[in-house]
Amino acid sequence: MDTNLQTVEIERKAEVFNWPFSRIATSLEASIIREILKISSRPGLINFAGGLPAPELFPIEQIRECVDAVLTNSGPASLQYSLTSGILPLREYLAEHVSKKGLPVTAENITITTGSQQGLDLVGRAFLEPGDYVLTELPTYMGALQAFNFYQVIYCPVTMDKDGILVDQAEEKIKQFKPKFIYLVPNFQNPSGITMSLERRQKVIDLAFKYHVPIVDDNPYGELRFSGKAVPSLRGIGGDAVIGLGTFSKLISPGLRIGWVVAPIACSKVIERVKQATDLHSATFPQYIIYEFLKRGYLEPHIEKIKVAYAHRLDIMESAMRKHFPENVTWPHPEGGLFLWLQLPEHVSTMKMLNESIEAGVAFVPGRPFHPDGSGDNTMRLNFANATPEGIVEGIKRLSVVLKKYC
Amino acid sequence: MDTNLQTVEIERKAEVFNWPFSRIATSLEASIIREILKISSRPGLINFAGGLPAPELFPIEQIRECVDAVLTNSGPASLQYSLTSGILPLREYLAEHVSKKGLPVTAENITITTGSQQGLDLVGRAFLEPGDYVLTELPTYMGALQAFNFYQVIYCPVTMDKDGILVDQAEEKIKQFKPKFIYLVPNFQNPSGITMSLERRQKVIDLAFKYHVPIVDDNPYGELRFSGKAVPSLRGIGGDAVIGLGTFSKLISPGLRIGWVVAPIACSKVIERVKQATDLHSATFPQYIIYEFLKRGYLEPHIEKIKVAYAHRLDIMESAMRKHFPENVTWPHPEGGLFLWLQLPEHVSTMKMLNESIEAGVAFVPGRPFHPDGSGDNTMRLNFANATPEGIVEGIKRLSVVLKKYC
């Protein structure tokens, strides 16, 4: 038998096999962020790319306590299959949390997802068909583009000012293209850091109702406000016109991969059904851990702790940038979130700078992949939360050397 | 502000909103298994439906040890974002495990998934386009049909005998329909319990090479053999003609939701890219827990333990069935896995029996949803592993009362 198997092995290598992949699968590009993540363990590299929170701030001992309690009190249930929409106590907790901020909802409105990224994919699955239009901010979150690209959609990007998308331009595009939904990151937007003003939110919601276009409110950073005044959420103002996406990735741990979708029940049911076919349900055990963490009241103090640390890192990064960067590199000051968004002179290509920058020991994300219209080659995104304060200063120094060559 | 929000709430309810769902999303049906799972917490219900392993056999104390070690030794990494294809040590471990059984592979050939169900969806994403054909066994796993249905495919089901699918019929269908791949559950098939013979495996692999049709080898139960002789795996014999799906759901815990796909590297890269868009990666923390469990050598003794328990439960269920069931209800004796597959007289509809059976306090899965051609209404699947021995005897008694009315 062994000898036979070996003969077979030699004959049956992949080279001779034509793999009949689907056209869309082969046309997809890998995310540049994920590609950078692969090399980010390179010794000495300072990583301003990716949306990684600070690992040294993870609440490891609290998570250990929570795991112990879960295994003691709900061991078998926490390791068993569970409902597609997620475990009931976590959905009830989230429903209560969401209800405090606007239209009341119940656990039936909530679906637990494998991070917000799965929320984006499930919304895509539920709504999008080839040739559909999606209205987005310009720039917009590249992970959303990746998720929606699979459904072969066309984007209607809308220009932003410091208060969010320009409503008149949005209305024109809605009238012309009838998009399936409006995708927005209203708080500390990824990548621009912009927070949409209340007035702008109300106007966009008016558009949603006038033209019957749902809004997808992607809100991973809303709780990470360091300064300024909180703005009511789109879901809070717009109620059932809005599908809300939330996540614990930036607040507790991305490795637990627990996010959620809040939507009108009719929509939740469709999302549940499309999710069922993709993975039956998200991991049960992390859902129990997160619920225990919330139940013990650990979330609020932990958010306070990371906000202080991130605000400090933002301050350090901006100071270092003012000190070291060429004057023709500019950025708006964000009031929260994880990201700084840099404008370089128009002739500069940050895509072309990336390799040299990595050679110099610092990684960033070039801005072009955030632009569905292919513009933005002179922009870049820096994560100020992930590196330590010392690393931030050193990384900005390294980046400034490269910037001075190009700008 | 509060008053305004309340007015808005009343106006902005979902009823007035037309949700522009995609046609395929609204046409999908919820899995009957998942619907039964929803009512399975009903007090006193004995649940032979679903593929749930026995919760009282979960290795809770060993998992507690593993979690403690993970948090102590790899705390930050286990809670952080990780690679789309999965954490390297787990992929290396799996590559070694797979290599022992056939064509050698490396970590690059492995993708970690959120259970095998996500493996099925990702294979669908990578290969299938609307109108494509997929060759399956008849009956076949309904979760696979659910995953592939999203891609709007057409099935070519092939009749099985006690050794697996009929190869001549398969060849005819391959010639006629040119399916994108051949989907098989070769060991203790879900739902039929049939294990494909070595001869049949070799012939199917010959077909795969002759017609350049990849095989998808879905193998969640292969390690759960109670009697008879193990047969070399399809992947082991067929090498790169075969995409293998594995999972720890039936061996350690389904709630950790860790499965894997082993495929030729060119195929792994496509799977990685399509996975990236769906959820970035599967939860990191459960991957570390599983790897720790494997590293400590806990898997083999645990499998031995559950095999003894499941073989005992199978024996109890078959004895009770022989004692209580009408004589015109028959089933083949499976040599492993989780399921018994019952044939009832042709005029009986198990779909119609289900509600009455649940009223009588016992749930099963009707066989028709496992039949892509709509046949099989006189079949049903029973899970013999999930209920306790006492529950099995009582459940079979309850079911026999309903069966006697219909058969």
Q: What is the Rg, in whole angstroms, of the alpha carbon atoms belonging to chain A?
A: 22
Contact B22/A127 with Cβ under 8 angstroms?
yes
Domain holding B333: CATH number?
Answer: 3.90.1150.10
The pTM (predicted TM-score) of the whole model is 0.95
Cβ-nearest to B285 among A38, A149, A286: A286
Q: Which residues in chain B have Cβ-Cβ distances shorter than 8 Å to A63?
A: 71, 79
pLDDT greater than 90 at residue A376: yes
pLDDT greater than 60 at residue A12: no
Which amino acid would we find at residue A68?
D
Percentage of chain B surpassing pLDDT 90?
87
- Asked whether residue A146 falls in the same domain as residue A223, the answer is yes
Domain count for chain B: 2
The residue among B268, B295, B322 that closes a domain is B295
Q: Which two tokens stand for residue B395?
A: 């459940």
d(CA A245, CA A262): 7
Residue A96 Cα to chain centre, angstroms: 23
The residue among B238, B270, B295 that closes a domain is B295
Q: What is the pLDDT of residue A40?
A: 72
- Asked whether residue A217 falls in the same domain as residue A114, the answer is yes
Q: A257 vs B276: CB contact, 8 Å cut-off?
A: no
Q: Strands, E, within B339-404: which ranges? A: 339-343, 362-363, 365-366, 379-383
Q: B255 vs A26: CB contact, 8 Å cut-off?
A: no
Q: How confident is the model at residue B50 (pLDDT cuts 50, 70, 90)?
A: confident
Q: Coil, helix or strand for B150?
A: coil
Which amino acid would we find at residue A332?
P
* Residue A20 forms contact with B (CB below 8 Å): yes
What element of type H or E holds A342?
A: strand A339-343
Residue B112 lies in a domain: yes
Q: Coil, helix or strand for A137?
A: strand
In the numeric block, the tokens 């999908």 are attached to B28
- Asked whether residue B34 falls in the same domain as residue B153, the answer is no
Between positions 71 and 90 of A, the ones with CB within 8 A of B are 71, 75-84
Strand partners, A341: A381
* Residue A329 forms contact with B (CB below 8 Å): no
- Asked whether residue B274 falls in the same domain as residue B136, the answer is yes
Residue A39 lies in a domain: yes
- Asked whether residue A306 falls in the same domain as residue A286, the answer is no
DSSP per position, B8-36:
HHHHT-GGG------HHHHHPPPPHHHHH
Q: A25 vs B278: CB contact, 8 Å cut-off?
A: no
- Asked whether residue B235 falls in the same domain as residue B109, the answer is yes
Helices (H) and strands (E) in chain B, counts: 15, 13
Strand partners, A157: A136
Cβ-nearest to A79 among B114, B149, B253: B253
The residue among A295, A329, A364 that closes a domain is A295
Contact B51/B383 with Cβ under 8 angstroms?
yes
Specify the pairing of strand A242-247 against strand A133-138.
Answer: unpaired
pLDDT (tens digit per residue) in B136-159: 999 999 999 999 999 999 999 999
- Asked whether residue B216 falls in the same domain as residue B276, the answer is yes
- Asked whether residue B48 falls in the same domain as residue B83, the answer is no
Residue A320 lies in a domain: yes
Rounded to the nearest angstrom, the minimum Cα separation between A399 and chain B is 24
d(CA A311, CA A298): 20
Specify the pairing of strand B154-161 against strand B164-165.
Answer: antiparallel
Q: Which residues in chain B have Cβ-Cβ distances shorter than 8 Å to A39?
A: none
Residue B189 Cα to chain centre, angstroms: 10
Q: What is the pLDDT of residue A33?
A: 74
* Residue B2 forms contact with A (CB below 8 Å): no
Q: What is the pLDDT of residue A29?
A: 77
* Residue A31 forms contact with B (CB below 8 Å): yes
Q: To 10 degrees, what angle do helices B389-406 and B299-324 make?
A: 40
Contact B194/B333 with Cβ under 8 angstroms?
no
Cβ-nearest to A9 among B103, B254, B256: B103
Choose from B39, B73, B81, B245 for mutation: most chain A CBs within 10 A.
B81
* Residue B118 forms contact with A (CB below 8 Å): yes
Rounded to the nearest angstrom, the minimum Cα separation between B337 and chain A is 17
Cβ-nearest to A121 among B25, B273, B279: B279
- Asked whether residue B330 falls in the same domain as residue B377, the answer is yes
Full residue range of the structural domain in which residue A241 is found: 61-295
Q: Which residues in chain A have Cβ-Cβ distances shorter than 8 Å to B30?
A: 272-273, 276
Which range of A17-26, A93-102, B118-127 scores highest in mean pLDDT? It is: B118-127
SS (H, E, C) B230-286: CCCCHHHHHHHHEEEEEECCCCCCHHHCCEEEECCHHHHHHHHHHHHHHHCCCCHHH
Cβ-nearest to A30 among B50, B276, B284: B276
Residue B140 lies in a domain: yes
- Asked whether residue A166 falls in the same domain as residue A252, the answer is yes
Q: What is the pLDDT of residue B40?
A: 72
- Asked whether residue A93 falls in the same domain as residue A129, the answer is yes
Lowest-confidence segment of A41-55, A300-314, B127-141, B311-325 by average pLDDT: A41-55
* Residue A282 forms contact with B (CB below 8 Å): yes
Domain holding B144: CATH number?
Answer: 3.40.640.10
pLDDT greater than 70 at residue B104: yes
